[in-house]
Amino acid sequence: MSVHAARSTRPLMLASAGIGVVGASFGMARYGFGLLAPDIRASFGLTNGTIGLLAAASYITYVIASIAAGVLTVRLGARTIVAAGGFCAVSGMVIAGTAATPGQLFAGLLVAGASAGLVLPPFSDVVSGSLAPDRRARVLAAISSGTGWGVALAAPIALLAGESWRTAWLLFAVAAALATGWALAVLPAADTRAGPGMTVRLRPGWFVCPRSGPLLVGALLVGVASSTYWTFAVEHLQSQGGLSTASSRIVLAVVGVASILGTASADAVRHLGARAAFVLAAVAEALSLALLGLVPGTLAVALSSAVLFGAAYNTVVAVQVLWSAQVFADRPSAGLAAVTVMGALGLLTGPPILGAVADRTGLATIFAAGAVLLVLTTVLAPRGHLGDRTRRS
């Protein structure tokens, strides 16, 4: 990318483009399933274990796409990879929205899940190459909060669709198409591929090393714990708490709105320090799981849990994104892809295992387990400064 092209991208426009496609890919294509799970379960007569397996479908391709994204961004350019991610989101949700069998739904979730793995890592390279150092942290934090914007939009769409979960998927697909179009209009059309001498050798030792160990392991554990909420929260509120479909979806909408607070996480890191921000957010997310697991039948408690989870989860993710940009400064997209792969592995393995456990011990047990796991991740919190500088920790 030329210097002129790099400096022509406005921070607000770039942030809005990232928020849009991340919101559509994460908030709808991936987490939309948890929002619609009760109606899908009733429609096909599924068990918690099967719901967990279906939820895992989107994470399978998410892992594969995340692995590929770092390398493909270097070779094909960020704009091309974001376009591919948007296409997967739209086409996958269309397949899900027209599914007549669980197998067809599984196929749609596989395609849709790849979108999340593709759209986020390229923005790390674009932000690093397009913005001045003092603006990068805020824009990256804003983009990482796109999940919340997506969930905040998906929840009212699901409410309007009622029991027609297929209609909801199709409306999600329309939103994804609009977001992808905007992203392609904003992202630099100039060639963003790395030239000779610019590309680091992406060997296993570059990804897995002493400086990256806590970051990658923490991403895995946070993924496992958070999958409990994303996959089973609405089901728990309805089956164990007795809340209506509308009430439980409102709770998830509050999660989305609260997640938008992740936009300010860069400021929290600057004022509190990276370690304190991570620890506080992880403990707050643990508390949100404990509250929902223990008291699912009280709407006020559920809403409090939703606010905690939305704000805390996205702050944890934002800290990891900022941390990744510093640890993997030589190739930000590849480093962020490694972090998303570890998070995806947690989100992939969590639902089927936790769903099977829930079939035997109840949903409250897995919410408690997720809370304990989040508290344990605090020992892996980052140390040192995560500012706008690109020095490694």
Which residue, 111, 83, 125, 116, is CA-closest to 343? 116
Q: Examine residue 392 and state whether it is found in any structural domain, yes or no.
A: no
Size of the chain, expressed as the number of residues it contains: 393
Q: Quick one: pLDDT at residue 122?
A: 87
Mean pLDDT for the stretch of residues 313-329: 83
**71 CB neighbour count, 10 Å cutoff:** 15
- 391 domain-assigned: no
Q: Is the pLDDT of residue 205 over 70?
A: no
CA distances from 176 to 87, 97, 186, 213, 278 (A): 9, 14, 15, 34, 30
Q: Give CA angle at 341 (335, 346), nearest 5°.
A: 140
314 found inside a domain: yes
Q: Which residues contact 103 (CB under 8 A, 6 or more apart)?
A: none
Flag whether pLDDT at 173 surpasses 50: yes
* Most confident segment among 182-191, 306-315, 320-329: 306-315
Q: Is the pLDDT of residue 202 over 80?
A: no
Percent above pLDDT 90 for the chain: 35
- Establish if 155 belongs to a structural domain: yes
387 in a structural domain: no
Give the pLDDT confidence score for residue 301 in this predicted structure. 94
The mean pLDDT of the chain is 83
Inside any domain, residue 66: yes
| Identity of the residue numbered 110 | L
pLDDT score, position 388: 47
Residue from 14, 315, 37 nearest 186 by CA: 14
Contact 367, 107 (CB under 8 A): no
Identify the pLDDT of residue 81. 93
pLDDT at residue 145, rounded to an integer: 80
- Token reading at 350: 């969590």
Q: Taking 70 as the threshold, does the pLDDT of residue 370 lie above it?
A: yes
pLDDT at residue number 207: 63
- For 62-110, how does the pLDDT look when each residue is reduced to its tens digit (9 = 90+)? 888 888 887 788 788 889 999 999 999 999 999 999 999 999 999 999 9
Q: pLDDT (tens digit, 9 = 90+) per residue, 207-239? A: 666 677 888 899 999 999 998 998 888 889 988
Indicate if the pLDDT at residue 49 is higher than 50: yes
Summarised one tens digit per residue, pLDDT across range 116-151 is 889 988 887 788 777 887 788 788 878 878 888 888
pLDDT at 197 over 50: no
Decide if 97 is inside a domain: yes
**Residue 370 domain-assigned (yes or no):** yes
Domain of residue 54 covers 3-380
- The CATH number that applies at residue 132 is 1.20.1250.20
The 3-state secondary structure of the chain reads: CCHHHHHCCCHHHHHHHHHHHHHHHHHHHHCHHHHHHHHHHHHHCCCHHHHHHHHHHHHHHHHHHHHHHHHHHHHHCHHHHHHHHHHHHHHHHHHHHCCCCHHHHHHHHHHHHHHHHHHHHHHHHHHHHHCCHHHHHHHHHHHHCHHHHHHHHHHHHHHHHCCCHHHHHHHHHHHHHHHHHHHHHHCCCCCCCCCCCCCCCCCHHHHCCCCCHHHHHHHHHHHHHHHHHHHHHHHHHHHCCCCCHHHHHHHHHHHHHHHHHHHHHHHHHHHHCHHHHHHHHHHHHHHHHHHHHHCCCCHHHHHHHHHHHHHHHHHHHHHHHHHHHHHCCCCHHHHHHHHHHHHHHHHHHHHHHHHHHHHHHCHHHHHHHHHHHHHHHHHHCCCCCCCCCCCCC
> What total number of domains does the chain contain?
1
| Cα-to-chain-centroid distance, residue 326 | 20
Cα-based distances in Å from 380 to 85, 243, 257, 275: 31, 36, 28, 9
Closest CA to 86 of 207, 175, 7, 156: 175
pLDDT on residue 379 = 93
* Mean pLDDT, residues 255-277 taken together: 78
Mean pLDDT of 20-34: 89
Percent of the chain scored above 70 by pLDDT?
A: 89
Q: Determine the pLDDT at residue 295.
A: 93
